[in-house]
Amino acid sequence: MNQIKCVCIDIDGTLTDPYFFIPILNEITGKNLTKDDYTSINWLDTYGPDYSEMYKTFDDEYSYVYKTSTIVEGAKNVIENLKARGIEIHYVTARSKSIHDITAQWIADQGLDPNRVHSLGGNHGKVEAAKELGCDVFIEDDPNNAKNLAEAGYKVILMDTNYNKGVSGNNITRVNGWDQVKDIIIN
């Protein structure tokens, strides 16, 4: 990719394991789902109508969960490599604004810049955030966000998951890990 000055990175499912939430959600819902069952990001599809509204309050009611996740292998090294090349990095998350401090602290705990966290409070603002930040490439796992960003003209690196298998198109490059992210951006 040519002349990349700014990369935006989603957090959940991109910097963290995309299936990190499954044991926690299984405990809350009494289900016993595995990552093979996790083929939709829509909680109504995944957990049924009894839990379809849980997504709206999850960040506030279960904010402690975000403190326990870990960064996926290779992510920090790639981010440091990109920064060393003068590429600006922003962490753009759909997490609630009410847990911004928890999110920023988690980023800091990973050795990354907490001042670059943008908490949107939902998925609806990622295209606008990309525009405001001057994003050249957006690293994402959410199928809807990936499609919306790509349709708006942004290059999207899509982290491969069971719930985004059907996503492809112009401006979308699917990867299996952070080594591939590095290869795409730097080469």
- Position 142 in a domain: yes
Contact between 164 and 146 under an 8 Å Cβ cutoff? The reply is: yes
Same structural domain, 57 and 142:
no
Same structural domain, 10 and 26:
no
Same structural domain, 100 and 181:
yes
Same structural domain, 54 and 92:
no
Same structural domain, 122 and 40:
no
In this predicted structure, what is the pLDDT of residue 3?
Answer: 87
Please give the single-letter amino acid code of residue 65.
Answer: V
Same structural domain, 131 and 59:
no
- Position 148 in a domain: yes
In this predicted structure, what is the pLDDT of residue 42?
Answer: 86
Element (H, E) at 157: strand 155-159
The pTM (predicted TM-score) of the whole model is 0.94
User: Residues 51-103: pLDDT tens digits?
Assistant: 877 877 888 888 889 999 999 999 999 999 999 999 999 999 999 999 999 99
In this predicted structure, what is the pLDDT of residue 187?
Answer: 77
Same structural domain, 182 and 93:
yes
Same structural domain, 106 and 133:
yes
In this predicted structure, what is the pLDDT of residue 2?
Answer: 66
Residue where one domain finishes, among candidates 35, 52, 67: 67
- Position 12 in a domain: yes
Same structural domain, 100 and 158:
yes
Same structural domain, 85 and 161:
yes
- Establish whether 12 is a catalytic residue: yes
In this predicted structure, what is the pLDDT of residue 150?
Answer: 98
- Position 165 in a domain: yes
Q: Which candidate in 12, 136, 141, 142 is catalytic?
A: 12
- Position 37 in a domain: yes
The pLDDT profile of the chain, 187 residues, written as one tens digit per residue, is 568 999 999 999 999 999 999 999 999 999 999 999 999 998 888 888 888 778 778 888 888 899 999 999 999 999 999 999 999 999 999 999 999 999 999 999 999 999 999 999 887 899 999 999 999 999 999 999 999 999 999 999 999 999 999 999 999 999 999 999 999 998 7
Domain that holds residue 170: 6-18+71-186
- Establish whether 45 is a catalytic residue: no
In this predicted structure, what is the pLDDT of residue 1?
Answer: 57
Q: Which residues of 143-169 are buried (b: 16+ CB within 10 A; e: fewer)?
A: bebbbbbbeeebbbbbbebebbeebee
Q: Domain total for the chain?
A: 2
Same structural domain, 46 and 11:
no
CATH code of the domain covering residue 123? 3.40.50.1000
- Position 162 in a domain: yes
Tokens 């959600």 identify what position? 25
Please give the single-letter amino acid code of residue 78.
Answer: V
Same structural domain, 85 and 126:
yes
- Position 1 in a domain: no
Q: Which candidate in 10, 59, 136, 141 is catalytic?
A: 10
- Position 90 in a domain: yes
